[in-house]
Amino acid sequence: MRHRSTILLIMMSLMSLETAHAKGIHVVSEGDTLWKISRTYGCNIQSVRDENGLVDSSLQVGQQLEVSRCKSEPAPTTRAQGKARRQEKVIRYRVRRGDTLGGIAARYGTSVRRIQQRNQIRNSAIFPGDFLELTPTKAPPLPHPKAVLGQSRGHTNSGRLRRPTRLHKGKGYFIRRAHRSYGAEHTVAYTKRMVRSVRRQFPKVHTLAIGDISAVKGGKITRHASHQSGRDIDIGFYFRRKPSGYPSSFVVATTKNLHFGATWKMLREFVELANRPLGVEKIFMSYSTQRILYKMAKKRGIPERQLRAMFQYPRGKFASEGFIRHEPGHDEHIHVRFKCPPKDAGCK
């Protein structure tokens, strides 16, 4: 009799679930998440939240959710679309406290728009516990430049240029002073590569301000102690909205105006060149601006280990740690210094 009672209870539970389903109600069971439920019924997480007045993604077993406005199943895809989706590299990411769509996109090499489209999100509202499908961009890697010997002579603060490479006008950047747009081949090539890489991920980002590299023959120029041998370049920041006067003039970076995703991508492009023979030797930035970027990155879940390797902050302005070092007056731009080409004896 006890066995029959158990079977009867199970059958009644199944009938009740079927009745609820028929009425457009989903009864939460063990292991359910909003992401799973929205996928099952062919709608997005936000619409389930809105329909049920949920303020976050927490659910309780037995809770009933209204899903009548959802489709009975996800919209069908064509055979070609289905094949393309199966071939995509898909990451299932669980949202953590402090995450934003911009920060997640920057971390995984995709864009906010791609995340929204993939997950049927109408706005930028995400909550801890949500699951997102991410499809990192599969664009082919950009090439690295070849070494050109004999261009950069001497030191950055007491040097000159021979047969310089000029940074000409190009898409995505603005040259503030054309007569100071000469440098070593790899300085120019890696700067253009960085701009292309950022714009791949953030195609709608504004034009970037490019400051001084060196004069046509190198040597001392006004406003700088270095920039004499074509291996130094000043670069502005990316902002949420293009500030007044930018990119003709540099603009001070703040928590409110910085475009974190694009600026972070720019910095990572340069930092990741540290181990390459023609890569970046050092980056200079004011300590206060380091603090802003450090805190923004930490809030977005960038690992502490990575932040400590990148920034001198919070160990003090004179600490000999961190790839990015303090330099006064660099709160409106960064100063990137490239290495000498290997086996180039005249470059110091």
What's the 3-state SS for 32-50? CCHHHHHHHHCCCHHHHHH
What CATH number is given to the structural domain containing 272? 3.30.1380.10
Angle at CA 237, nearest 5°, toward 288 and 309? 55
Give the pLDDT score at 120: 77
CA distance 203 to 61: 43
What CATH number is given to the structural domain containing 96? 3.10.350.10
Cβ(13)–Cβ(6) below 8 Å: no
158 has which bridge partners? 155
Do both 57 and 95 map to the same domain?
Answer: no
Residue 130: inside a domain, yes or no? yes
Pick 23 or 108 by higher pLDDT.
108
Angle at CA 190, nearest 5°, toward 285 and 217? 85
Do both 126 and 223 map to the same domain?
Answer: no
pLDDT band at 112 (very low <50, low <70, confident <90, very high): confident
| Least reliable range by pLDDT among 47-56, 147-156, 184-193, 200-209 | 47-56
Give the pLDDT score at 55: 63
Is residue 233 predicted with pLDDT exceeding 50? Answer: yes
How many Cα atoms occupy the beta-carbon half-sphere of 333 within 13 Å?
A: 18
81-95: average pLDDT = 65
**3-state class of 249 per DSSP?**
coil
Do both 61 and 97 map to the same domain?
Answer: no
Range of the domain at 39: 2-66
48-73: average pLDDT = 72
β-strand pairing of 324-325 with 131-134:
unpaired
Do both 320 and 219 map to the same domain?
Answer: yes
Tokens of 289: 């601006």
Cβ(238)–Cβ(201) below 8 Å: no
pLDDT band at 138 (very low <50, low <70, confident <90, very high): low
Question: Which one-letter DSSP state was computed for residue 255?
Answer: T
Do both 314 and 267 map to the same domain?
Answer: yes
Q: Which of 301, 307, 304, 344 is nearest to 323 (CA)?
A: 307
Residue 164: inside a domain, yes or no? yes
Is residue 80 predicted with pLDDT exceeding 60? Answer: no
Cα torsion 29, 33, 34, 35 to 10°: value is -130
183-209: average pLDDT = 96
Residue 146: inside a domain, yes or no? no
Pick 136 or 167 by higher pLDDT.
167
CA distance 251 to 179: 21
Is residue 87 predicted with pLDDT exceeding 70? Answer: no
CA distances from residue 32 to 26, 98, 116 in whole angstroms, order as listed? 10, 23, 22
**pLDDT > 90 fraction of the chain, expressed in percent and rounded:** 56
| Least reliable range by pLDDT among 112-126, 278-292, 308-322, 332-346 | 112-126
Give the pLDDT score at 143: 87
Is residue 8 predicted with pLDDT exceeding 80? Answer: no
Q: What is the pTM of this model?
A: 0.66
Q: Which of 65, 33, 46 is nearest to 126 (CA)?
A: 46
Give the pLDDT score at 77: 45
Q: How many other C-beta atoms are found inside a 10 Å radius of the C-beta of residue 129?
A: 16
222 phi, psi to nearest 5 deg: -65, 155
Exposure letters 239-265 (e unless 16+ CB within 10 A, then b): beebbeebbeebbebeeebbbbbbbbb
Cβ(243)–Cβ(251) below 8 Å: yes
Residue type for position 34: L
229-254: average pLDDT = 98
Rg of the chain taking only CA atoms, in angstroms: 27
Do both 8 and 157 map to the same domain?
Answer: no
Is residue 321 predicted with pLDDT exceeding 60? Answer: yes
For 28, counting Cβ atoms within 10 Å of its Cβ (0-12 exposed, 13-18 middle, 19+ buried), the class is: middle
Cβ neighbours of residue 140 closer than 8 Å, sequence gap 6 or more: none
Do both 181 and 51 map to the same domain?
Answer: no
Do both 49 and 165 map to the same domain?
Answer: no
| Least reliable range by pLDDT among 41-55, 159-173, 257-271, 318-332 | 41-55
Please count the structural domains in the chain. Answer: 3
265-278: average pLDDT = 96
Give the pLDDT score at 24: 73
CA distance 109 to 129: 21
Displacement of CA 180 from its chain's centroid (Å): 30
Is residue 199 predicted with pLDDT exceeding 50? Answer: yes
Give the pLDDT score at 14: 47
Displacement of CA 169 from its chain's centroid (Å): 25
Q: Which of 180, 218, 193, 333 is nearest to 270 (CA)?
A: 193
Pick 263 or 29 by higher pLDDT.
263
